[in-house]
Amino acid sequence: ITCSFYQKSSQPASLSTEDVSANTNGPNQDALFDDDPEDLFAEATEEVSLDSPERDILLSDGPSPAITPITPPTSVIAPRIGHTHDDMFTHSSFDEIEEEEVDDSFDINISVSDPEKVGEYVVHPVQEQKTSMSLFKQREFSVKRRFSDFLGLHSKLASKYLHVGYIVPPAPEKSIVGMTKVKVGKEDQSSNEFVEKRRSALERYLMRTVKHHILLKDPDVLQFLESSELPRAVSTQALSSAGLLRMVNKAADAVNKMTIKMNESDAWFEEKQQHFESLDVQLRKLHISVESLVCHRKELSVNTAQFAKSAAMLGNSEDHTALSRALSQLAEVEEKMDQLHQDQANADFYLFSELLGDYVRLLAAVKGVFDHRIKTWQKWQDSQILLQKKREAEAKLQFTNKSDKLQQAKDEIKDMEGRVQQDERDFEQISRTIRKEVGRFEKERVKDFKTSIIKYLESLVLTQQQVIKSYFTFRYVTASV
């Protein structure tokens, strides 16, 4: 079988600034992925059930958004296959899907454009370009989505995947002030900045989501990317990442309140938890540091512009022709510098400040899955205790003559044993999933940072070259004084 989606395609002409370059040496046999490929999907049917108590906890705070019916991931495979052009998919086994998830070449490009007004709503056009991903019907897409649609997507994914250990990328923050300005049609620098900030955040959010091999196949994600019409979330108060953060924190508090003292048999989890806690502290520090840098850079731009103006005025007052010309040229150079400082401030902001902010928020999701594991463990412990009680009760009944009650007790014990086994499997499953997810997270982290840094350095080099050009021009003019 020639598997077309394994070949490394050349980078498509990118619409977005979030290119993920394919630079791999072939399928990565990361040790963490050495599981039996069948296993992941065999569990899938049991991963999400409508009656999952974790889901209730997730949804118990605040107004619950309307969620499209949750279907088990296996449905991803079934109905769509018939629609794809790519025949090979119909022959596909779970092995190949598993292999796809470890293949680093990634063929999807998403770009989110500036908002438009459609009727009374503000929508963002979303364009995707894919090559040879046979999960999708077409190569290129363009849909229009409202901000609440993005939040709705996230809340659906969070409710489906967080509690089983998947690190679901958080959605961008809601901002009442910013949005009001845009709705009112205010056209000034701060509202333009807000629009760009949001656009970029939505784009990064989608890219992070589709980069996740499990989330990419989720029907809600596919529907989001492809359908021309999306069912509206009934409640407009979709979960923003702030809301999710609150919820995660509440879950964490619940964990603490229950004083769950988990007997951590696995040192890996303890070490990872500590590690993520200290990473959170570091990232926040870095974020504050960069924000300060961005602030000063903007200040420099303003001061440079003022300096340029004053130099121009001095040039105008100057009698001596050549000196006057030199001063005017100085003003021009400084105006150019002002522009470069602004560009630099944007680079600082989008490539670092936002990146660090994203990771601070991502770490909240990471913390969330760790807490869910603890809750899962607790559930398992509770079941075991309950089983023990039921056994004791049954033992007591042995000495009575209530045979029907005894039978009932025996039946209950059988059920309970089943539940204990299930809970144990759940716990082991979430532990496995988290291990994989953490590995994926740490790998993505390196890629993410490297990509941003390279873009940043490229912009720095470009800026310096323009600076040099400016000074050359200036030198030429002042030499004639």
Partner 1 sequence: MMMTEENEVESTLSVCGHNIQIAEVLKDGEMLSFLIVSQKLSGTGEYHVHRNYDDFEWLQHNLFCQEDVAGIQGVIFPPLPAKAQVNTAAKVMKQLGFLSLGEWQPYCKALEVFLQQVAAHSILSKNKAVEVFLTNPDSPGKQKVKKNIFNRLSQAVDGMRKEGHKDVDDFFQTARDHNLVLTNCTKTVTEKLLEVVQTEQKIAVACGHFSAALLLCVEPGDDPNKQAFSKVCVKLSEVFESMKKSTTGVSENDVSTMGLGLDLESRYQEAIKEMLFRRTCKLVELEHARRNAEKAKPVKKAAMEELRKAAETEFEDISRVAKEEITRFEAVRVKMLQQAMVQWCEKQLLTAKECADQFTQHLEVFRGMNFK
Interface with partner 1 (CB under 8 A): 23, 25, 28, 275, 279, 282-283, 285-286, 289-290, 292-293, 296-297, 299-300, 303-304, 306-307, 309-311, 313-314, 317-320, 322-323, 326, 330, 439, 442-443, 445-447, 449-450, 453-454, 457-458, 460-461, 464-465, 467-468, 471-472, 474-475, 478-479, 481
* For partner 1, the closer CB: 253 or 458: 458
* For partner 1, the closer CB: 6 or 449: 449
Least separation in angstroms between residue 317's CB and partner 1 is 5
Least separation in angstroms between residue 358's CB and partner 1 is 15
DSSP string, 22-77: ---SSS---GGG-S-HHHHHHHHHHH--TT-HHHHHHHSSSPPPP-PPP--THHHH
DSSP string, 116-127: EEETTEEEEEEE
What six digits make up the tokens of 396?
A: 């007591």
* For partner 1, the closer CB: 306 or 407: 306
* For partner 1, the closer CB: 389 or 445: 445
Least separation in angstroms between residue 189's CB and partner 1 is 19
CA pair distance 193, 171, nearest whole angstrom: 19
β-bridge mates for residue 109, sequence order: 129
Torsions phi, psi for 30 (to 5 deg): -65, 135
Least separation in angstroms between residue 248's CB and partner 1 is 23
Which residue is listed with tokens 């004084």?
481
Give the burial class of 349: count Cβ atoms within 10 A of its Cβ; 0-12 exposed, 13-18 middle, 19 or more buried: buried
Least separation in angstroms between residue 329's CB and partner 1 is 9
DSSP designation for 13: P
Least separation in angstroms between residue 171's CB and partner 1 is 25
Contact 416, 390 (CB under 8 A): yes
* For partner 1, the closer CB: 46 or 266: 266
* For partner 1, the closer CB: 322 or 395: 322
* For partner 1, the closer CB: 14 or 256: 14
DSSP designation for 173: P
Give the number of other Cβ atoms within 10 Å of residue 105's Cβ. Answer: 18
Least separation in angstroms between residue 330's CB and partner 1 is 6
CA pair distance 414, 412, nearest whole angstrom: 5
- Please say whether the dihedral angle defined by the alpha carbons of residues 128, 79, 69 and 160, taken in this order, is positive or negative: negative
What six digits make up the tokens of 15?
A: 């619409």
Least separation in angstroms between residue 463's CB and partner 1 is 9
* For partner 1, the closer CB: 8 or 450: 450
CA pair distance 376, 428, nearest whole angstrom: 9
* For partner 1, the closer CB: 281 or 385: 281
CA angle 171, 298, 203 (to 5 degrees): 20
- Reported as type and span, the H/E element at residue 464 is helix 403-478
Least separation in angstroms between residue 303's CB and partner 1 is 5
